Structure 1
């Protein structure tokens, strides 16, 4: 029997069997969006009778989907607590996201507070005069004592607003109910002036809610989301939901997306939908978040089960949770006919180039990056000594996929690993490294501990041409590849000055003693400007020695730089000159589509509706 969207995360078997959407909730939330233009609302929570003498209420210090501690509680003011008779109760702030209320006798507890919500970029909470986006982790306090109790949410919103969520509707159009706080936390609410659409795919109901004006094409988005939503069988054999909600924000600049239990929110600047490259970014993000409904929301590493909302949830498998999702997202689009094979391989080519240009790939493993995600930053040091669980996790997943396909004689792929994780480790279970390795052994008959040590515990080093050759492919910069100058210096792109944001490790600039934060002044004694930054170095050839003048800690410094070289042009993935039937069979086992090239190595005309 397929689990419903509400019962899915209930850790208590009692509530799985007994919770009814008609029962009165034990924890009642109310939010009055009373000053939307100033991003303010009033929140109240009614907790059941408690026997505790020290009653704790919490606001999470992080939100699901973003593995970093955030200053969430900074949006709370005017906290008050009262007993069942409305009498004030003494309280004190005992931690960043914790308030401790003192009780002298058993009583129900009511809590109220003012909420400031202007964190749209964090996809945490945002209120203005057109809408409110409410992720419970940044809005609704909970008590650990009543975390598993049924809850209700009632909202008072401006006239004309419409409210949507993955939760079930409550007593009126602006109310919702959930089995427990975990479901509430993973079911954000979008309420406001919006457009709403619905469709069915593979026996499931889908809703799409658009907030904000922009240059998006709702008809095309609905067509493609429907194609995506019918592709789950590419990996899994059933669904963890009956209804799913896509929330799309057309913003004034905020970007990003977050997966939830049976919904997602996707944000792009309002005029970044029309161009094909922008649309591909949007639709691939939608695919990514949809896949997360299984990978993360249905099964996830042990360190994240159950969620601890008040501290870091450590795991060395975040690269599987995020990187593998990135790896599958365009495969799903490819099979659905939303993108062409050419677009798929253009994206893969860009990922390979980014990997080759990242000095941190020689320093950090995906396991270490997973453990370090909670404290990660992305400055100069990180770029030179770190990898990203998304991009590097993608490549580790790809290497693992090719290994499984080869070792199983094309009978299985990495998709089968995730199918087994879903079948055998549904929440409230969690999987660990040994579990993944056992699945790999079951599928291939081989021990994967050595592979794991080489590609997961150590920095990922992939010979992409040898890897892709198994599928009849090769990377190329063209028949007559050209080279261009490399310096290793990068600007932030935010200022007109020439303060260096990055200097790549072991690059010409690095070896010359230039570092991030230095301000570039002159090359060979002639002043350089931000507009001429790239063009100026095109005046030279690789191997040339040039004089570079910088301000370093406000002190003028002149150094000699020996210019390096890098490929010029765009990396492409093409078929080998001679491709065997075995390689074409490997290709199909990998991507699930037929060989997309003609006898001359040109793309076949397919997916003409894309």
Structure 2
């Protein structure tokens, strides 16, 4: 079978990508099926990419129409023996268009300034056939000067852009940026590392490329080798953007450029870079068995995203600290924020890390107003579970670095297959003892609170709580013009006990009109344990309720350093 793809962008302002798949050296006697992926590895949600497909048609080498029929939402069956369209082709061309106007790291976007091609959202495959040695040709407007991808360049003519993918997985796993994007890079360990970005950046006091280079050196130091020939950091900068998606030899990052002038937000950017880059090892190679080979047409369930994402979350801010790009004080402030977010999530009492992982497809990526009451993020709790594990390894003179090294060694012994929980727990036991293994296993499968205070103490730290004097209603607000609406009602909060609902519009409190411009003043004069008469609009009807606020729950005020040497040893500084 010989399979090649050609994509073209005749008019970028229309957001349309033309796709042509040429197939030859194939048995055309039996019907066969093209499919569009429904999800992207690394982002666990069925995204229904086929909703943007249009104009599907098929021709033989002589231009004769070949019968093609849509068989379900994302599959198209070609039948060369159909009685009304019977042909005996030597080759066929399967063609369609894709509407690309969603600027995220997991979708494609085309406009007059650039084209970002995310493979799973545009490239169909052939069902039940091994797709190897694929060729991709790209045509784009002549005023665009750059094409950036990690696919192998096999072009033989200057004006013809041809690339090769070893298989369908690599084709989908190799994003493409086309336009006039900024390009730069550096060498590390004799390998090219490209830094490219689309969008405008304000003048910054920090050097993005140099900081990325520092992160590469620090992250790569832990596993000890680079499992790629070249690597590409591909970024999109525009207001409101945030996100990242890992690939085997690249990452796509999205960030709000105006936030980068703020030191705290810039540290968030650096953590995002470190997070996606560490995925080169953890996820793209060290992976749960369910995550590769992939089934692109349905959910791929795993209970181990606490390893894939939790470990990566714990390491990303730590890599920034180890690189000298943040201070211990800034790092501990980040951990305080993470811990307070977890303590404010009532769903941690009901949702284990295993369950959170397994249900990512329907819960984490589809949050609603009750999510914080019923679920917990395997990113957030998973990262803090590894904070605890790192502390537990310290008495055995081991650390998270030793754990990662063992994971990497295990991967190299069987790179064709993933790992299961037993392998992970066996590694932990080999670094510590059976009790530590069993205790960590319980953290993953259970819903008890993480022993954060004891873990911090083991690392030379002290977690200091405080009882806030602020009033607490347990009601999170959202605003529409001057109107004030309840967005979320926290479990067991005064607002829930007093029967307030998400979606209620606050009209008056003790007869005083509630408006966005006055909301801070309203919330300031509320007192704990005092009763207030509240009028809300609910489903078009005015309803009178009574609200009795309480004092805010205790949260972490600070994480103190008690023993600087112990901190340095615990976190590999």
In structure 1, the partner of 2:319 is: 332
**Within 5 Å, which residues of 2 pair with 1:157-172?**
157-161=140-144, 162-171=146-155, 172=157
Say if 1:350 and 1:571, in contact at 8 Å, map to a contact too.
no
In structure 1, the partner of 2:572 is: 592
Task: Work out the CA distance in 1 between the residues paired with 2:70 and 2:257.
Answer: 40
Task: Work out the CA distance in 2 between the residues paired with 1:360 and 1:39.
Answer: 41
In structure 2, the partner of 1:56 is: 33
In structure 1, the partner of 2:482 is: 496
In structure 2, the partner of 1:421 is: 407
Task: Work out the CA distance in 2 between the residues paired with 1:190 and 1:342.
Answer: 38
Task: Work out the CA distance in 2 between the residues paired with 1:127 and 1:238.
Answer: 36
Say if 2:57 and 2:94, in contact at 8 Å, map to a contact too.
yes
Which residue among 415, 419, 441 is the counterpart of 1:431? 419
Say if 1:437 and 1:448, in contact at 8 Å, map to a contact too.
no
Q: Does 1:80 align with 2:57?
A: yes
Q: Does 1:244 align with 2:231?
A: yes
In structure 2, the partner of 1:536 is: 522
Any idea what the Cα deviations from partners look like across 1:260-317, whole Å, max 9, x if unmatched? 1111111123423222122122111111100011111112101112111000000000
Say if 1:49 and 1:109, in contact at 8 Å, map to a contact too.
no
In structure 2, the partner of 1:443 is: 431
Task: Work out the CA distance in 2 between the residues paired with 1:575 and 1:382.
Answer: 34
Task: Work out the CA distance in 1 between the residues paired with 2:554 and 2:480.
Answer: 25
Say if 2:306 and 2:353, in contact at 8 Å, map to a contact too.
yes
Q: Does 1:110 align with 2:87?
A: no
Deviation at 1:500, TM superposition (A): 0.9
Task: Work out the CA distance in 2 between the residues paired with 1:234 and 1:567.
Answer: 41
TM-score by length of 2: 0.92
Which residue among 78, 90, 95 is the counterpart of 2:72? 95
**Within 5 Å, which residues of 2 pair with 1:333-412?**
333-376=320-363, 377-406=366-395, 409-410=396-397, 412=398
Q: Does 1:464 align with 2:452?
A: yes
In structure 1, the partner of 2:135 is: 152
Q: 1:505 to 1:397 in 2, by over 3 A?
A: same
- How many aligned positions are there? 558
Q: Which moved more, 1:175-184 or 1:139-148?
A: 139-148
Q: 1:400 to 1:106 in 2, by over 3 A?
A: farther
In structure 1, the partner of 2:85 is: none
In structure 2, the partner of 1:20 is: none
Q: 1:305 to 1:498 in 2, by over 3 A?
A: same
Task: Work out the CA distance in 1 between the residues paired with 2:343 and 2:10.
Answer: 52
Any idea what the Cα deviations from partners look like across 1:569-593, whole Å, max 9, x if unmatched? 98321124xx4xxx844x3342111
SS at match of 1:101: strand
Deviation at 1:341, TM superposition (A): 1.3
Over the aligned positions, Cα root-mean-square deviation in angstroms equals 2.2
Task: Work out the CA distance in 1 between the residues paired with 2:93 and 2:448.
Answer: 52
Task: Work out the CA distance in 1 between the residues paired with 2:107 and 2:430.
Answer: 41
Q: 1:218 to 1:37 in 2, by over 3 A?
A: farther
SS at match of 2:487: strand
In structure 1, the partner of 2:507 is: 521
Task: Work out the CA distance in 2 between the residues paired with 1:327 and 1:77.
Answer: 43
Say if 1:76 and 1:116, in contact at 8 Å, map to a contact too.
yes
In structure 1, the partner of 2:278 is: 291
Unaligned runs of 5+ in 2: 82-87
**Within 5 Å, which residues of 2 pair with 1:123-162?**
123-161=106-144, 162=146
TM-score by length of 1: 0.87
Unaligned runs of 5+ in 1: 1-24, 594-610
Task: Work out the CA distance in 2 between the residues paired with 1:519 and 1:57.
Answer: 49
SS at match of 2:423: helix
Deviation at 1:533, TM superposition (A): 2.5
In structure 1, the partner of 2:9 is: 33
Deviation at 1:154, TM superposition (A): 1.1
Q: Does 1:546 align with 2:544?
A: no
In structure 2, the partner of 1:224 is: 211
